Amino acid sequence: MTLVAVVGPSGAGKDAVIDGARRHFAADPRVIFPQRVITRPAGPGEEHRPATEDEFAARERAGGFAVHWDAHGLRYGIPAAVAGAVREGAVAVVNVSRGVIAALPEVFGDVRVVRISVPEDVRRSRILARGREGTADARARLERPDPAPEAGVDLEIVNDGPLPDAVASLVRFLEGIGR
């Protein structure tokens, strides 16, 4: 049915908003929240499928990704099975780089883009507080330019208030897909 591509800068709270929506739709098999494969060890933050560089490259060569990209010195991939689930009627919600948005319709058909944003001061404090990156990596994330500034969005969520408000916005949007 639809891929919902959630985009936004590091520190905007994409993972927290997606996790809240995941909990809301836990009993609804129509809405899925596939884990990305990332060349980062398991740890705090987003639940993902960790992979070494070699494992990622092997999976890429074998056609194991519907789409993949590089950012922040890491490799990210959406498993190929997600495209099949979307073709079979699922609404899949995935955190992606804006740099791959143009490629998504060819793979998934119907794509909706949700951008999550936050004021820069809040974003800076979140990135520094999460402790997932060293100082240099945190600085690089804060200074990274938007990879696709011209990409349109279907929903903008400004995540600067209570998290349940941002989650409710995403939930309402997902409930409206396919009506």
CA-closest candidate to residue 32, choices 24, 44, 40, 41: 24
109 annotated as ligand-binding: no
Any binding-site annotation on 11?
Answer: yes
Q: Is 10 annotated as a binding residue?
A: yes
CB-based contact 14:36 (threshold 8 Å): no
For residue 133, how many C-alpha atoms fall within 13 Å in the half-sphere facing its CB?
18
Distance CA 110, CA 38 (A): 24
161 assigned ligand-binding residue: no
Is 41 within any annotated ligand binding site?
no
Distances (CA, A) of 21 to 2, 14, 17, 45, 72: 16, 11, 6, 16, 26
Consult the annotation and say whether 15 binds a ligand: yes
Q: What is the DSSP string of 17-82?
A: HHHHHHHHTTT-TTEE-PPPEESS-S-SSS--EE--HHHHHHHHHTT-EEEEEEETTEEEEEETHH
The pairing of beta strand 2-7 with beta strand 111-117: parallel
Residue in the block written with tokens 């990879």: 147
Judge whether 8 is annotated as a binding position.
Answer: yes
Q: Which residues are annotated as a binding site for ATP?
A: 8-15
Q: Which residues are annotated as a binding site?
A: 8-15
